[in-house]
Chains A and B, each alone.
Chain A
Amino acid sequence: MGRYVIRRLLQMIPVVIGTTFIIYTMVWALPGDPFAGKCGDRACPPAYISMMTAEYNLDEPLLVQYGLYMVDLMQGNFGETFRGTEIVNELLQRYPTTVQLAVIAIVFELVIGIAAGVVAGLRRGGFIDNLVLVSTLVVVSIPVFVIGLVAQIVVGVQLGWLPVTYDGTVYSLILPGFVLGSLSLAYVARLMRTNLVENLRSDYVRTATAKGMPQKRVIGVHTLRNSLIPVVTFIGADFGNLLGGAIVTEGIFNIPGVGNMIFRGIRDREGATVTAAVTILVLVFLLVNLFVDLLYAALDPRIRYE
């Protein structure tokens, strides 16, 4: 197990190098001048351009640029934005909001998704089952920005239950969290239902009944534990995704998260900002995935890592 974790951690090194290189190359290789329009209506003075070019090693070949950048990164130096703020500070400022949003979304997925799936699976063909199947289909088919805007109008404006946009409190993240989690929530509900229905027909559930176990125990212990394994791993992987920020949801609810930062970075050709943020996201994603794989082994004893 320990060896497996170490191997997985070592595997992350080439992955991180590869992804950062691709991102770095893509951002700086984009056609156009990164300093166009940075100085208002006038063209930027040559002195400014030469200073910035030196600062970001832009006159070096791409590989050298990237190498110098990575050396800085390894030393914990994330660099500065064009405006001169430390990128690391901006990340530190924005990341907690993204994490909060992701956690809220995951809680919705866990609680509502699993509950809906279990109820639907136990009463297969019943009213709730059909309700879950139809409503999840609707959620899956509608783009997230539509759900976001409808949620703002209905819950935020008409009912007035929750704030329409982000005001710096966790409370105002509930609605965007729900919107962000809604798509995966639908998948979780369906996955849970399918697994439950399948496992209810399995031989070991029949054995549990034949052992004289009460119905509650047959379902709650024998069936549920097995049905939850794929659902939990799905939710874990989804958490890794959500920690990468949510450009659309953050945009709709005006949330200053990482997604928003990356979006603006790409728009303004802030190569250093984008690369730094993506490096962090890749690392987080890889670590969460490793955690999910370990969780999978913990839930299903048939899986062992050597």
Chain B
Amino acid sequence: MATTEPSAAPRPPDAGAAPLLEVDDLHVEFRTRDGVAKAVNGVSYTLSEGETLAVLGESGSGKSVTAQAIMGILDTPPGYVTGGAVRFRGQDLLQLPEEERRAYRGRSVAMIFQDALSSLNPVFPVGWQIAEMFRVHEGLSKKDARARTVDLMDQVRIPAARERVNDYPHQFSGGMRQRIMIAMSIALDPDVLIADEPTTALDVTVQAQIMNLLADLQRERNMGMILITHDLGVVADVADTIEVMYSGRIMEQASVHDIYGAPAHPYTEGLLRSIPRVDLKGQELSAIKGLPPNLSRIPEGCEFRPRCPYAQQICHDTRPPLLEIAPGRFSACHFAQEVLEGDFDNAEQ
């Protein structure tokens, strides 16, 4: 096991060759009184510098849990990582002792949460909370940390940053609070930024501003960004690659262009059909029938089978693995090719 100084910026020996962030066959389960809920079941993806990876899925699909496992902020108990690896430039973070792992948080991998009001500490001024990053990680003096904080608040476009450093979270609007979260997360110039539904709690107009800000910051700093969302509209403009998660597993992985052009999984297809569209105004909005499976009792065979319009006997018998169906395109469907080509009727008989 490679060990690094906890205080120095962690850089394992083979930093050059390894991908920026690699999640490899990750398994997470929640052990509750009512049984074991398998929240993440073999998720793998890689993220490189400057790439934006969107993780899509309904509530309970395991997208946030995956992110928490990457950050090492899973609530344990009841949550446990039961298998797999999370490699940052080749270093498996899951194997590190807590104190060494802590050095990666905020500095190498940072995270933005959905609800900025509850995610910011209500009893400390926002400036204090941002400055804490510099003071604890870099040992800066109060004065220097404060100067950097004001600077940072300017960068995330908070008006009158100098006057507002000593204000408390409840004194800001929702959009401004999310900007403070963002400022805090990029304070140490992390290589990877995980944004867990960063705009879900915001008004539509503010959503766009925040997404633009994130996109700009990512471009300037060449960060790898994991954007967790259930909003396909948000994804289209900013993401490079999309992972569609369902029931703790990746159903489809492809570039944004490919997925929006022609989905290769019935679940993705259903998601895309459920986006409200101006040209279909007045018509009934299409929804995926049924509910996501109970994670304590994931069905045999394909997880999506009970809700899938194309389900066959084979879907009942065998769980489809995630296979490459075209260069750079992966789908976990027995009939991926048929769905992709839109001629599903041929597969039916």
Contact A226 B123 (CB under 8 A): yes
Point out the residue from B73, B98, B132 that lies within 8 Å of A206, measured CB to CB. B73
A202 — nearest CB in chain B belongs to which residue? Answer: B118
Least Cβ–Cβ distance between A207 and chain B, in angstroms: 5
Q: Which of B99-107, B271-279, B314-322, B339-347 is found at the contact surface with chain A? A: B99-107
Q: Which of B19-27, B109-117, B241-249, B285-293 is found at the contact surface with chain A? A: B109-117
- CA distance in complex: A206, B116 (Å): 12
Point out the residue from B106, B113, B115, B123 that lies within 8 Å of A212, measured CB to CB. B106
Main DSSP-derived SS at the A contact region: helix
Contact B113 A225 (CB under 8 A): no
Q: Say whether B168 faces chain A, with CB atoms less than 8 Å apart.
A: yes
Q: Which of A50-58, A177-185, A296-304 is found at the contact surface with chain B? A: A296-304
Please count how many residues in chain A sit with their CB below 8 Å of the partner chain's CB atoms: 23
Least Cβ–Cβ distance between A231 and chain B, in angstroms: 14
Point out the residue from B105, B118, B136 that lies within 8 Å of A204, measured CB to CB. B118
Which chain A positions have C-beta within 8 A of B98?
A: 215
A205 — nearest CB in chain B belongs to which residue? Answer: B121
Q: Say whether A40 faces chain B, with CB atoms less than 8 Å apart.
A: no
Contact A203 B113 (CB under 8 A): yes
Which chain B positions have C-beta within 8 A of A302?
A: 122-123, 168, 170
- CA distance in complex: A215, B170 (Å): 26
Contact A210 B120 (CB under 8 A): no
Which chain B positions have C-beta within 8 A of A204?
A: 118-122
Which chain B positions have C-beta within 8 A of A42?
A: none
Least Cβ–Cβ distance between A206 and chain B, in angstroms: 5
Contact A210 to B106, CB < 8 A, known contacts A201-B75, A301-B168, A302-B168: yes
Contact A301 B119 (CB under 8 A): no
Which chain B positions have C-beta within 8 A of A217?
A: 136
Contact B119 A212 (CB under 8 A): no
Which chain A positions have C-beta within 8 A of B75?
A: 201
- CA distance in complex: A210, B105 (Å): 6
Contact A207 B113 (CB under 8 A): yes
Contact A212 to B120, CB < 8 A, known contacts A203-B113, A217-B136, A302-B170: no
Which chain B positions have C-beta within 8 A of A203?
A: 113, 115, 118-119
Contact B121 A212 (CB under 8 A): no
- CA distance in complex: A203, B170 (Å): 15
Which chain A positions have C-beta within 8 A of B157?
A: none
Which chain A positions have C-beta within 8 A of B115?
A: 203
Q: Say whether B214 faces chain A, with CB atoms less than 8 Å apart.
A: no
Point out the residue from B99, B118, B132 that lies within 8 Å of A211, measured CB to CB. B132
Which chain A positions have C-beta within 8 A of B137?
A: 212
Contact B136 A214 (CB under 8 A): yes
Q: Say whether B71 faces chain A, with CB atoms less than 8 Å apart.
A: yes
Contact A212 B118 (CB under 8 A): no
Contact A212 to B122, CB < 8 A, known contacts A203-B115, A302-B168: no
Which chain B positions have C-beta within 8 A of A225?
A: 121, 123-124
Least Cβ–Cβ distance between B169 and chain A, in angstroms: 9
Which chain A positions have C-beta within 8 A of B133?
A: 211-212
Q: Say whether A209 faces chain B, with CB atoms less than 8 Å apart.
A: yes
Which chain B positions have C-beta within 8 A of A202?
A: 118
Q: Which 4 A-B pairs have the closest CB atoms?
A: A212-B105, A212-B106, A203-B118, A204-B121
Given A204-B118, A301-B125, list of 19 further CB < 8 A pairs? A203-B115, A206-B119, A207-B181, A210-B71, A210-B73, A210-B105, A210-B106, A211-B136, A211-B184, A212-B106, A212-B136, A213-B136, A222-B121, A225-B121, A226-B122, A299-B123, A300-B123, A301-B170, A302-B168
A-B contact pairs, 22 of them (CB 8 A): A204-B121, A204-B122, A206-B119, A207-B184, A209-B73, A210-B71, A210-B106, A211-B110, A211-B132, A211-B136, A211-B184, A212-B102, A212-B104, A212-B107, A225-B124, A226-B121, A226-B123, A299-B123, A301-B123, A301-B125, A301-B168, A302-B123
